Amino acid sequence: MKLMQKRSSEMREILYVGKTAKRRIVSSADFGFLKEYGIMMFGLSDVGPDLRIVRHVPKMSQALVCLGGEGQVYIDGAFRSIQPGHAYLTPPKIFHAYRSVPRKRWQYLWLIYFGNAGDLTPFSVEEPVLMPCDPAPLKRVAEGMFEESISHGSEMALRSWLDLLRIEAARTCELQKRDSRLTKLLACLREDLARSWNLDAMSEIAGVNKETLRRAFAKAYGNTPLRYLTILRMRHAAHWLQLSDDTLETVAARVGYGDPFAFGVAFKREMGVSPGRFRKRHGV
């Protein structure tokens, strides 16, 4: 029970950068033409061990690129370490979270794109992704933009920097190819979350035996297939709770739970709040 309470507390929505955070930010509120590039804001952060960000239904997509130190990002149902040379990509409307670690500082670059930026966003993901990257070129461009914004603020010069930023962001966020066997299976899971899935059915669709499927999921997502299915179900449940008037029983059934109580327990374990409270906070 104490472990569940701790997990629930960790997943409550919060935006706290910490008492010792140092940040440089360029925002579309100050430079309106950033909106033409789909950019809401971007920045460089150097944070202490108390940073904690949890967004249940974010309105934007974000690329967070680790430059130094160490942090943790929420991927596939658990916090995982992010170290220099890795990026955390998150889409709009899908739960994401990240935090610093005790007794360590963490340096990272971040770009936030409007949720409706479409093709202007340099990556397209359906769920948060942690991937390797080369952050150096993007960091150089960002520092050039910060210097220009502070020293001169020339729109022409900043637009030139933005063109470079768009190129380097696309290169930095270029996704590695996923295992095609998993891609096919995940598409089937998303199309029929209400189905009573088991490893036998998953293995048949992926075209591999159960042990191979377990290893493939562990390598790609750090989870078992069934654990990943639970995460996927809760993400879709959150979406339906936010945007529909369906009863909790209906939402539960749509994601494969015949028992609303079991659904509520699983949802709170993943999202930090009960389905009813989530709907009150985020429902339209």
CATH number at residue 136: 2.60.120.10
Output the pLDDT for position 240.
86
Last residue within a domain, chosen from 150, 172, 194: 172
Let me know if residue 68 belongs to a domain: yes
Strand order across the beta sheet in which 71-75 lies: 14-16, 52-55, 96-100, 71-75, 78-82
CA distances from 257 to 25, 84, 194 (A): 44, 40, 7
Q: What is the per-residue DSSP string for 243-280?
A: H----HHHHHHHTT-S-HHHHHHHHHHHHSS-HHHHHH
Q: What angle separates helix 275-282 from helix 260-271, to the nearest 10 degrees?
A: 60
Domain check: are 157 and 233 in the same one? Answer: no
Nearest to 278 by CA among 1, 128, 57: 57
pLDDT of residue 125: 84
5 assigned to some structural domain: no
Same domain, 104 and 241: no
Residues with Cβ within 8 Å of residue 183, at least 6 apart in sequence: none
Distance CA 284, CA 275 (A): 14
Q: Are residues 141 and 94 in the same domain?
A: yes
Same domain, 102 and 190: no
pLDDT of 117 reads: 83
Q: Does the residue 261 lie in any domain?
A: yes
Q: Are residues 23 and 103 in the same domain?
A: yes
Number of domains in the chain: 2
Q: Domain holding 250: CATH number?
A: 1.10.10.60
Residues 145 and 52 in one domain: yes
Q: Which of 172, 203, 227 is the last residue of a domain?
A: 172
Contact (Cβ atoms closer than 8 angstroms) between residue 41 and residue 112: yes
Residues 74 and 112 in one domain: yes
pLDDT digits (tens, 9 = 90+) for 208-225: 999 999 998 887 777 889
Q: Provide mean pLDDT across the span 166-183.
A: 78
How far apart, in Å, are the Cα atoms of 157 and each of 5, 28, 37, 234? 51, 16, 15, 45
Percent of the chain predicted with pLDDT > 90: 50
> Helix or strand or coil: residue 176?
coil
197 or 4: whose pLDDT is higher?
Answer: 197
4 belongs to a structural domain: no
- Tens digit of each residue's pLDDT (9 = 90 or more) over 11-60: 788 899 999 999 999 999 999 999 999 999 999 999 999 999 999 889 99
Highest mean pLDDT among 77-91, 98-112, 216-230: 98-112
Place of tokens 């929420």: 74
On whether both 221 and 168 belong to a single domain, the answer is: no
Contact 125, 107 (CB under 8 A): no
Give the position of tokens 């998953």.
202
pLDDT band at 3 (very low <50, low <70, confident <90, very high): very low
Q: In the prediction, which pLDDT does 1 show?
A: 44
Residue 153, pLDDT > 90, answer: no
In a domain, 2, yes or no: no
What number of H helices and E strands is found in the chain? 10, 11
Given 153, 172, 191, the domain boundary residue is: 172
Q: Which two tokens stand for residue 45?
A: 């952060």
Q: Which residue range forms the structural domain that includes residue 93?
A: 11-172
Quick one: 124 and 23 in the same domain?
yes
Identify whether 101 is part of a domain: yes
